[in-house]
Structure 1
Amino acid sequence: MNQKRTFGTILTVLGIVGIIWGAYAFLMGGDGAAVGKYTSAVPFVVGLIFFFAGINLIKTTKDEA
């Protein structure tokens, strides 16, 4: 497995975690995740960036045997 694909997979998983954490913090109003209602947009946006960067890295990396 290629190092770029592995890094892309890690970025994708971190992105999913960030998206879920941001959505959870927004829905809870900051009570359960130690961030405020509008500050929860930060992990959500960072999660989106990580997610799409990881997906792009996985898609554009060629398999070489």
Structure 2
Amino acid sequence: MNQKRTFGTLLTLLGIAGIIWGAIAFLMGGDGGMVGKYTSAVPFVVGLIFFFSGINLLKTTKDQA
């Protein structure tokens, strides 16, 4: 496994975590959460960016034997 695939996997996992965190914060509505209802869009959008860039990196990286 080369470095690009490892970095793509890391970005994808961080993106999934950001999407889940943003969705949970939005559903909580700012009651006891770390972020408010409308500021929960920030981790969600960053998670989407990380997720799609990680998936793109995994798809475009060629395997070298």
What TM-score does the superposition give when structure 1 sets the normalisation length? Answer: 0.96
- CA positional deviation for 1:33: 2.9
Aligned to 1:64: 64
Aligned partner of 2:51 in structure 1 is 51
Q: Note the residue ranges of structure 1 that are not aligned, 5 or more in a row.
A: none
Aligned to 1:18: 18
Q: What is the number of residues matched between the two proteins?
A: 65
SS state at 1:13 partner: helix
Moved >3 Å (runs of 4+): none
* Conserved 8 A contact 1:25-1:32: no
**1:34-45 alignment to 2 at 5 Å?**
34-45=34-45
Q: Gaps (5+ residues) in structure 2? A: none
**2:2 alignment counterpart:** 2
Give the TM-score, by structure 2 length. 0.96
The 10-residue stretch of structure 1 (53-62 or 32-41) with the greater mean CA deviation from structure 2: 32-41
Report the Cα distance in structure 2 between the residues aligned to 1:12 and 1:32, rounded to whole angstroms.
28
Q: Kindly state the Cα deviation for residue 30 of structure 1 after the two structures are TM-superposed.
A: 1.7
